[in-house]
Every structure is written in structure tokens, then in C-alpha cells.
Structure 1
Amino acid sequence: MTDWLFNPAPTPSLPIHGRSERFPVRRILCVGQNYAAHAREMGQSRAEPFFFTKPADALVADGADPRFPLATANLHYEVELVCAVGVEGAIAGWAVGCDLTRRDLQAAAKDKGRPWDAAKGFDQSAPCGALTLGALPDPAAAIALSVNGETRQSGRLHEMVWNPGEILAKARELWDVRPGDLIFTGTPEGVGPLQPGDRIEATIDGLQTLSFTVLPR
């Protein structure tokens, strides 16, 4: 037998700002429609948050640049506050993330009442910045995303329908939330398309900036 049949892939992980240790990622939970204005721009009359997931190996960390994915002509950005679950199931740290979405595949799935896995959980669909340990950023903190220097998304964390504590409590109703889980908490309005070569900068006041370039296929 060849050794490669039994060698597991390395555990995805995030850097921790100011620390040499890394945060090993177990899985990624995501919240949809957690900002009312984004729900409206997606055609919903009101926000009704819900969960979906991405695999842990969708993570893009350490300043790596994701490639424009296969099977889409309409890749979208969505800036998000990310919660990192630590010991005893408490939120241990925070980061800036970007939920990349194959919007055309999502629209087709919605029309047919099918799951969103291919639209949301594809390879390199979860760029995420370094974790900052400690308390929740100021609820009035600004969250924003720019493409090639032009601001496309801008909001405040207090505009979330479910705040991070509520998100964690609701996640526990559905899963055995454990250390290593990441939770993407939803995006404000202004989502839109990306093209190969676009440079993205995503920010939340008090956290490490997330920057990446979309590489060609």
C-alpha cells in the first residue's frame, strides 16, 4: 500500500494576532439574511436569519489569494464578522471574513428548491483574516468592503438582526458547537460581482484587515 492513501490533509487553521499559536478550524457555520437591508436587496421583504455551512477546507488564510471558481459567471463578495468558538463553547476571538458566493448557482438552486452547497461551500470560498482574541468589537463598529479601492459595502455591526450571542445560542439548538468552530455572522447590503484581478479589502473597526486578490482560474 502507498502511504498517501492514509495521510490526512492538514487541519485548516487561522493565525492569531500577536500570538505564535494558530486556531485550528473544525467547521464553518454561516448565517444568511442577518442584516435587514441585505435581505431586501436579495428580494426578501424582511430578514429571517438562518444557517448554512461551508467545509473547513474552504478557508483561505495567511494572505493567500483565492482563484476565481469553476462553474460560475457571477462570483459575489460578502464581508462578515467571524466568531471563533473556544473552550467551553464561548466565543474566544473575532476576525474579518468574506463569504464568496456563486450567485448564479445560488439563484438556480433557489428556483428549484434545492440546497445551496455548490453555491456557498466550494473550494476557497471562505477568505478570513487573523483572529483577534478578547471581547466583542464595539457594536457600533463599522464593517466595510472595497473592490479596487472603491467602497462597495458599508454598515455597522449593531445592524445585525441576531447579535453574536444570539447566533451562538441558536447554533447550539442545531449543533454540538465545539472549540474550533467558526461562525460567519452575515453581511450588510451592497454585495456584488467580482472578476479575476480584483483586489478586495475588508475591514471591521478594531480587527485585522482582510485583503486578497481574485486570481484567474
Structure 2
Amino acid sequence: MNFQDLHELLRLELLRRIDRGTLTQSRLAQQTGFQQAHISNFLNRKRALSLEGLDRVLASQNLSIDQILPLDLTAAAIPPPTQTSDPIEIIPVVSPSAAMDDARISPASIIETIQVSASRLHDNRARPSTRHAHWQRFLAIRADTQQSAAMDPLLSPGAIAVLDRHYNSLSPYRAHQPTLYAVRCGAALLLRFVDFDEGRLILRPYSRDFPVQLLPLATHETPGDYIVGRVCLVFSEL
């Protein structure tokens, strides 16, 4: 993640607050001491903030950088094999269909593997649905072009998203931060933020250029029937 990405994350968080009605451009200008035109230009991508300006906006909203990062991003290449005192786990990278449907991953379904430290995996809290409680817990998929575009800049094309298939709950994983899920939507596996209201899953992209999708549930279905897992790690290729 670079300085430009941080600008974009902050800009999108401010726009979400404005959309929810908890913030206005004029109020933000008053809080930061900027002219409203300056704030408007920033929100509309017409100008960037200085480092000092970024700090002023974060302070005005009682935000820290880690609060606008909705998941554990590793902005580097997939780590090569290393010798370390921390045990290493081999995570299979599979197709979206295998991630959705295969309780146990067979060798034939493995496209490639990555190595992740065991502590980074097993420090994750689990909230499995009854259906997924005995499924193989951790696996990964590569984000295709459409998935990465919908979640830009959180996911770059070809990024590997590690899924925790023992987290199928809509309870936020971290307070005041959205949780990124892998969700079954017909034959597709979508990576989205998810809400639930009036019997429908609301699938929200990060990019404002993509539409919100509504996924109605049958009376006998629960959100856990569609939530394949939580995205707990992302490895971006250089």
C-alpha cells in the first residue's frame, strides 16, 4: 500500500459517512480548517492532501490509519519459503468453485500453494456455521479482474485472498470496521462487504463504480448458507 492508496481509502470512508448522513462537506471543512472547495476537490479526486492535511482529516474524524484498513493487507509479493521459528502452514490456492463446494480440498483441486506462518492463521477467531464447522478451514483464491476492480484498491488483479471458512457470521470481526467476505452468488464467488436486512444479503463493493447487489434468502435459508468465509489475509503480487 502506498500514499495514494491511503488517500483513496480515506476518501471512500469520508464519502460513506456523507452517504450515511453522519457527515457533510461543510462540517468536515469546519473541523479541519480547510475551505469547502478544497474538501470538495479532494472528495472528487481533483486534488490530493498533503501529509499534514491527511493528519488533520484523520484527527477530525477520530480515525487512525489502521481503522480505515478493513483487513490484513500484505502489500508485497507472496512470501518465499524461509527458515523461521514460527511454524509454516501450506495453504492451497483453489478455484472459486472448489472454495464454495469442497469440504476437503483434494490434491487434484490445488492450483498452487503458498506458505503462511501458522500464528497469522490461528490467531483468527472462528464463528463457523453448522454446515462449515468441519470443513477444511483455510484456503485461498486468486482475485480475478472483476473481483479486483469491484474492491479496488483493496485487491489488485491476481492478488491471493486467504479465506477462513470457519467465519460465516455477519458479526463484525473488528469493531467499527467492515468485514470482507467471500459470498456465494449463483455460480460465482464474490468478494464483498456484506449486510443483512429484510431477508436479503446486501453485497457492497468498495469501488463506487460498481453497484450494490441484493441477494434474497428463502425462508429456510440463513446468511451462513451463502457466506463461504472471511477474507483474513491478502497477498498482492509485485
TM-score under structure 1 length normalisation: 0.25
Name whichever structure is richer in strand by fraction. Answer: 1
Identify the structure with the greater helix proportion.
2
Higher RCO structure, 1 or 2 (CA under 8 Å, sep 6+): 1
Give the structure with higher Rg (CA): 2
| TM-score normalised per structure 2 | 0.23
